[in-house]
Amino acid sequence: MTTESSKPPSRQQRQHCWKLRDEYFACLDRLTIVDPVIVEKEPEKAKECLEKKSKYEDACMASWVEYFNKRRVLDVKQREYLEFSKQQSGKQP
Amino acid sequence: MVFFNKTFREEIMSGCNIAFRYKGAKNNPVFLFPIPSFSTIIIKMLRTGVRTFTAALRRQPQSQHQKTVTRFALQRRLLTTARDEEKARNRAAIGVFNWKSAALFLGTGAGLLLYFRQEKERVTKLREEKARETSKAYGKPKIGGPFELINAENGKRFDSTKELAGKFYMVYFGFTHCPDICPEELDKMAEVVDIAKEKKEPLVPVFITCDPRRDSAEIVKEYVKDFHPDMIGLTGDQDEIRKVAKSFRVYVSSPPSVEEGEDYLVDHSIFFYLMDPDGKFVDCYAKDTTAEEVVSSYEKYYKEYYADKK
């Protein structure tokens, strides 16, 4: 039986979710917080972003929020590692 | 030694039109005029005569052979004019190389060059074809195969061997609750299909869900309609989907224990699988290939397939 919650988001809903996610992450970038889990544990650290956070979590499904948060950490780590390896290799682009 | 005056000499020189490059001949008076002076002949005669005479006095009488050689040498020396000598000297300097032989050499060279170029092209073409054939015979992995699922459009059975026969099709495995990757990839697939349609190379997009628990036929139908009107959405029950995924070597992993209504994501490999009209696997495209790259690759396979058929 398909309940309302199991119906997948439409294109508009998806894009709405993505937009709010980007806003929230931009706010975190300004505070140089990488892992959104920190905000969960210590909300005082990111007071300005809390409103955006709640909007983001409302618009997106819970599994998506978790996925996006984890992806953010991975992406930052990956970018840092690529920078590091580029420096180490000494090759000029 | 100089019988003729300067102006006569110059006239003869200008009339000759031959470049003299004999080394060391600059100061040779014989070099200057083509006709031997009478005195030169006399002197030569005397010189040779004296030599032979003294040689004869000193040595044993000459053998018949030696006498012949001396006589011919004498004749040659007497009758050779300066021009002949120059010519001989020039010929010796240049060797066998004159205009005729030069032309022949260049002509042969050019001919050989053209011939070899042609041959090389032919051989490389042959080799390429052979390489292609062998790769076709051995290099295609046994991915995919006939499958039977439920068509989300009408809820009826969908048999790939019947519905997709005679058409190129591209399969993507995903699920409707996918956060960002599946929508992106399906948008890319829609773009590929549109470009291919413009080029008159029809391609059928097929979406198979990896999450049959949540993705019923209606849900899949609505989902794929959002991307492209030609897209076929397929679903089925767990076993069928698992069998198809296995035949395509697709990595699919649902969380093991999920309750009703709970939200979860399905992990799956992100590839487009291009299949030919015989239902055989052709190629797969990863997440980082652009739509244009996919189309150009598809075009090659399309042309190859139909060229063979002809």
How far apart CA A25 and CA A79 sit, in angstroms, is 16
Which of B201, B195, B206 has its CA nearest to residue B272? B206
Average pLDDT over every residue of B89-106: 78
Question: What pLDDT is stored for residue B103 in this prediction?
Answer: 92
Of A3, A11, A60, which has the smallest distance from its Cβ to B226's Cβ? A11
How far apart CA B176 and CA B210 sit, in angstroms, is 9
**At B69, which helix (H) or strand (E)?**
helix B64-79
Answer whether B186's CB lies under 8 Å from B127's CB.
no
The nearest CA of chain B is from the CA of A37 a distance in Å of 19
Average pLDDT over every residue of B206-231: 88
Chain A residues within 8 angstroms (CB to CB) of chain B:
2-3, 5-11, 14, 18, 60-64, 67-68
B16 assigned binding-site residue:
no
CB spacing of B226 vs A62 below 8 angstroms = no
Average pLDDT over every residue of B281-303: 88
Of A5, A14, A18, which has the smallest distance from its Cβ to B261's Cβ? A5
**pLDDT of residue B70 exceeding 80:** no
**pLDDT of residue B28 exceeding 70:** no
Token duo for residue B92: 């010796």
Question: What pLDDT is stored for residue A81 in this prediction?
Answer: 93
CB spacing of A14 vs B265 below 8 angstroms = no
Which residues, in sequence order, are bridge partners of residue B149?
A: B158
Average pLDDT over every residue of B270-293: 88
* More reliable by pLDDT, B8 or B267: B267
Average pLDDT over every residue of A52-75: 88
What secondary structure letter does DSSP report for B231? P
Of B179, B216, B223, which has the smallest distance from its Cβ to A67's Cβ? B179
* CA-CA-CA-CA torsion sign (A18, A23, A26, A28): negative
**A25-39, A66-80, B203-217, B269-283: which range is least confident on average?**
A25-39
Topology classification of domain B148-255+264-309: Glutaredoxin (3.40.30)
B26-30, B50-54, B143-147, B236-240 — most confident range: B236-240
pLDDT tier, B32 (very low <50, low <70, confident <90, very high otherwise):
very low
**B4-13, B104-113, B182-191: which range is least confident on average?**
B4-13
Q: What CA–CA distances, in Å, run from B239 to B154, B235, B262? A: 21, 11, 21
Which residues lie below 8 Å from residue B16, measured CB to CB, with a gap of 6+? B34
The ipTM, to two decimals, is: 0.80
How far apart CA A14 and CA B17 sit, in angstroms, is 93
> B241-260 pLDDT, tens per residue?
888 888 888 888 777 666 66
Mean pLDDT rounded to a whole number for chain A: 83
The nearest CA of chain A is from the CA of B184 a distance in Å of 11
Mean pLDDT rounded to a whole number for chain B: 80
The nearest CA of chain A is from the CA of B231 a distance in Å of 16
Rg (CA), chain A: 17
**pLDDT of residue B74 exceeding 90:** no
Q: What CA–CA distances, in Å, run from B108 to B101, B104, B112, B117? A: 10, 6, 6, 14
* More reliable by pLDDT, B18 or B70: B70
Which of B241, B260, B261 has its CA nearest to residue B233? B241
pLDDT tier, B108 (very low <50, low <70, confident <90, very high otherwise):
very high
A73-79 contacts at long range (C-beta below 8 A, 24 or more positions apart): A73/A34, A73/A35, A76/A34
Token duo for residue B223: 């989902």
Question: What pLDDT is stored for residue B307 in this prediction?
Answer: 81
The nearest CA of chain B is from the CA of A73 a distance in Å of 16
Q: How far apart are the first and last CA of chain A?
A: 56
**pLDDT of residue B1 exceeding 50:** no
* More reliable by pLDDT, B136 or B277: B277
DSSP state string for B82-118: HHHHHHHHHHHHHTT--HHHHHHHHHHHHHHHHHHHH
Of B218, B223, B263, which has the smallest distance from its Cβ to A63's Cβ? B263
Angle between helices B291-309 and B181-198 (to 10 degrees): 50
pLDDT tier, B117 (very low <50, low <70, confident <90, very high otherwise):
very high
Which residues, in sequence order, are bridge partners of residue B275?
A: B169, B281
How far apart CA B71 and CA B77 sit, in angstroms, is 10
Question: What pLDDT is stored for residue B266 in this prediction?
Answer: 83
Question: What pLDDT is stored for residue A9 in this prediction?
Answer: 85
| Share of residues in chain A with pLDDT > 90 (%) | 14
**Quick check: B15 contacting A, CB < 8 Å?**
no
**Quick check: B226 contacting A, CB < 8 Å?**
yes
**Which residues does chain B have within 8 Å of residue A11's beta carbon, measured at their own beta carbons?**
183, 226
Threshold 0.80, pTM exceeds: no
